[in-house]
Amino acid sequence: MFGLAVENIGDVNQDGYEDIAVGAPYDRSGRVFLFYGSSGRINTNPAQILSSGSKTMKLFGYSLTGNLDVDDNQYPDVAVGSLSDSIFVFRARPVVSVSTSFIITPNEINIERGGCDKRMCDLSGQACFTYTAHRATFNYKLMLSYTFEADSVSRKTRPRVDILQSSQGKLELPGQGREICTSIKMQLRRDIKDKLSRIPISVSVSLLSSSETTMTSVDQSDLTPVLNLYQKNTTISEVKLINERCGSDNICQSNLQLQYKFCSKKTQNGQDVFKSLAREDGDAVITPSDEDIALEITVTNRDGDDAHQSHAVVTLPDTLRYSTVVQTEAAETRVSCTVNDKGTLINCELGNPFKRDAEVTFYVLLSTSGISLSTKNVNVTLQLETTSVQTIQPVEALAKVVFELELRVYGLARPSQVSLGENVMGESAIKSLDQIGTSIQFEFRITNLGRPLKSFANASLNIYWPKENSVGKWILYLTRISSKDVQSVPCSPANEVNPLKDVKGWQAPSRHRREAEHEALSTDGLAFLLPRRKYETLSCSDGLQCVEIRCPLLGLDSSALLVLHSHLWNATLAEDYSSLNYLDIVVDASLSLTGSPANIGLNAENLGTKVKLTVFLERKTAFLVKVAWWIILLTVIALLLFLAVFVVLLWKRGYIQRLAPTKKLPLDEGPNTETAPLKG
């Protein structure tokens, strides 16, 4: 029961204020709490707690008596009663107050001007001690213990000042009011990081045990003195560091600013190339892959004082993993970074100091291996820190996460070039699909370079089919759609496939030999030499009435093939486009996702394709094939060689004889009698 007994016990510590004792006899075996007075109120923290020291004692503190001076030392004593037939008398000890003066030379240091950034600079300190007591006649010789401590606030880092001798010692104060001094030598380290805040150097004092404390006269009390409870036992002196680039007030007011952007990283010609991942709407989009992404961080200090101990602290979410930090070789300021064991906290030192108008850019490379399909965005916290005067708010670097599927679509028409031909029939005269016109197959091959789509997304191929021209006449008549390597799911709308089969009774014929041979002979490599070049391009954007046909690609793994079987409507082309030499019919197709999460998209590369079909409208068209000049040259040379060989063979066989010259007769020979003419 706290407060059963309360007593004014006088001024125990001789500070000029009355003190009280409060009994708590039911606290354990009983205790008494001493509370010292002060200006205006009683200190609520107990200055001392008294107990009997015996577990068998009953209700120690049941009664109290104060303001006793049983030993006539002018300090009030306290008597404590109990219910165990015992009274305890506690004698007050003399209270002394120790005064300390501490001077450091020099107390101001200009690090750059004094060359202290290149060498160790010396410091010296002198501490002087005296004590006072309540009675002027009190004349104890006190043994004092002291301890020096340099840069005590930098407990987490190495102190900026080294003490060159023992930091602890003891000395004797010969009497009240008599000063004793001691000195200490120190050095300022040249590699200090904190060049802005003052360096505190402290000295602490305490009294040694009673066996080392003596009295000057035998009539003194045998009680050794104690230090004043409310006196500061530690004295601090500071060394001021001068920074000329912080103004006349020596207060550095920095202006650190931070900008960021997410980038992709590529290597070109042995150099790292970073490209922003921001899209047209300004949002950065991360596409998880085996490649690292980069967070570009730019820090400036425009028109600000030097920023001392400047750092950029990067806090990563669990979905991103730290890889490394890179800078361009031309960067003037080099950044040094450390990272914690989890790789989620990166601390980059920007400079000490980061000077006025300085700028630095560096890249934090990050792995996206921790991003899952449930990750919609990532948030990286960027915090600039400095010991200069500046309030800096954290910056949140946000980026969306989109899984891009590597789908590609390629298309071709078989055949890609056809002639209108002679057989042109009107719709009423057509009895079968073959009579509509030339059979055309539009093939679309879809490839998937990434993960299979079976588990998390569905894709579809959207074909913009040129069904009719601007006046509603048939252009391409779709008979059926076939697929390979995907699940067999009908395309929609289904009524656009062979729409006249119920009206005319037309059924899609099976692929026959003539169609296969025609496709084999038709290639895109042939070029036709036409006497005229009058043509037109027909597409959905040029006035054709098109139908969007959507074909699901369920179960797409690595590749799939989709074929649209159709017939060219010869009658429409012959009637409406007869003035042309030829025309191009373009079929557009594109890929899209259906029923997929918002963070799954398609890579914009090769998402669509255009398939061109060239139709020659002349009824009889001479197909002239361009022949390369070197083929003609080789042919002529071969023919000449063949002719030369043939002539040589004829000559050797004797079919060709060389003509001999006429022989002259000798002068002395007479003419042959058989051939000589008659003489007249």
Q: Can you tell me the distance from the alpha carbon of 46 to that of 33, in angstroms, rounded to the nearest whole number?
A: 6
Residue 405 has pLDDT above 90, yes or no: no
Domains for the chain: give ranges and CATH numbers. Answer: 5-92 (no CATH), 96-242 (2.60.40.1460), 256-401 (2.60.40.1510), 407-616 (2.60.40.1530)
Q: What percent of the chain has pLDDT over 90?
A: 40
The beta-strand segments (E) located in 198-344 are: 199-207, 226-227, 234-242, 256-268, 271-276, 285-286, 293-301, 310-315, 321-326, 336-339
- Which stretch of 332-336, 426-430, 481-485 has the lowest confidence by average pLDDT? 426-430
pTM: 0.59
**pLDDT bracket for residue 99 (50, 70, 90):** very high
**Mean pLDDT (whole number) for 508-529:** 40
How far are the Cα atoms of 45, 199, 251, 470 from residue 242, in angstroms, in the given order? 42, 12, 9, 86
Q: pLDDT by residue (tens digit) across 224-262? A: 888 888 888 899 999 998 887 787 778 889 999 999 999
**Mean pLDDT (whole number) for 479-493:** 91
Q: What is the pLDDT of residue 383?
A: 97
Please, are residues 202 and 235 in contact by the beta-carbon 8 Å criterion?
yes
Q: What is the pLDDT of residue 675?
A: 39
**Mean pLDDT (whole number) for 103-108:** 94
Q: pLDDT by residue (tens digit) across 567-621? A: 999 988 888 888 888 899 999 999 988 877 777 878 777 789 999 999 998 755 4
> Who has greater pLDDT, 279 or 361?
361
Mean pLDDT score across all residues of the chain? 83
**Mean pLDDT (whole number) for 470-474:** 90
How far are the Cα atoms of 90, 580, 583 from residue 536, in angstroms, in the given order? 120, 7, 5
Q: CA angle, corner 196, sides to 195 and 198, nearest 5?
A: 100
Residue 654 has pLDDT above 80, yes or no: no
Q: pLDDT by residue (tens digit) across 164-173? A: 999 999 999 9
> Who has greater pLDDT, 555 or 248?
555
What is the sign of the dihedral through the CA atoms of 353, 357, 358 and 361?
A: positive
Residue 659 has pLDDT above 60, yes or no: no
Residue 516 has pLDDT above 50, yes or no: no
Q: pLDDT by residue (tens digit) across 143-152? A: 999 999 998 7
Q: What is the pLDDT of residue 523?
A: 38
Q: What is the pLDDT of residue 154?
A: 62
Output the six-digit token pair for 237. Answer: 């002196």
Q: Can you tell me the distance from the alpha carbon of 587 to that of 616, in angstroms, rounded to the nearest whole number?
A: 17
Q: What is the pLDDT of residue 664?
A: 46
Q: What is the pLDDT of residue 626?
A: 56
Q: What is the pLDDT of residue 462?
A: 95
Q: pLDDT by residue (tens digit) across 380-397? A: 999 999 989 999 999 999
> Who has greater pLDDT, 442 or 331?
442
Q: What is the pLDDT of residue 619?
A: 58
Q: Can you tell me the distance from the alpha carbon of 530 to that of 262, in angstroms, rounded to the nearest whole number?
A: 55
Output the six-digit token pair for 236. Answer: 């601090």
Please, are residues 571 and 426 in contact by the beta-carbon 8 Å criterion?
yes
- Which stretch of 126-135, 215-224, 386-395 has the lowest confidence by average pLDDT? 215-224
Residue 529 has pLDDT above 50, yes or no: no
Number of residues that make up the chain? 680
Q: pLDDT by residue (tens digit) across 134-143? A: 777 788 888 9
Q: pLDDT by residue (tens digit) across 414-457? A: 999 998 877 788 777 788 888 888 899 999 999 988 777 766 67
**Mean pLDDT (whole number) for 519-546:** 64
Residue 480 has pLDDT above 90, yes or no: yes
Pick from 76, 29, 81, 19: nearest CA to 51: 29
DSSP secondary structure, 662-674, as one string? PPPPPTTSPPPTT
Q: pLDDT by residue (tens digit) across 17-75? A: 899 999 999 988 899 999 998 888 888 889 899 998 888 888 999 999 988 888 887 88
Q: Can you tell me the distance from the alpha carbon of 319 to that of 614, in angstroms, rounded to the nearest whole number?
A: 52
Cβ contacts of residue 592 below 8 Å, gap of 6+? 459, 460, 462, 602
Q: What is the pLDDT of residue 507?
A: 56
**pLDDT bracket for residue 155 (50, 70, 90):** low
Q: What is the pLDDT of residue 512?
A: 40
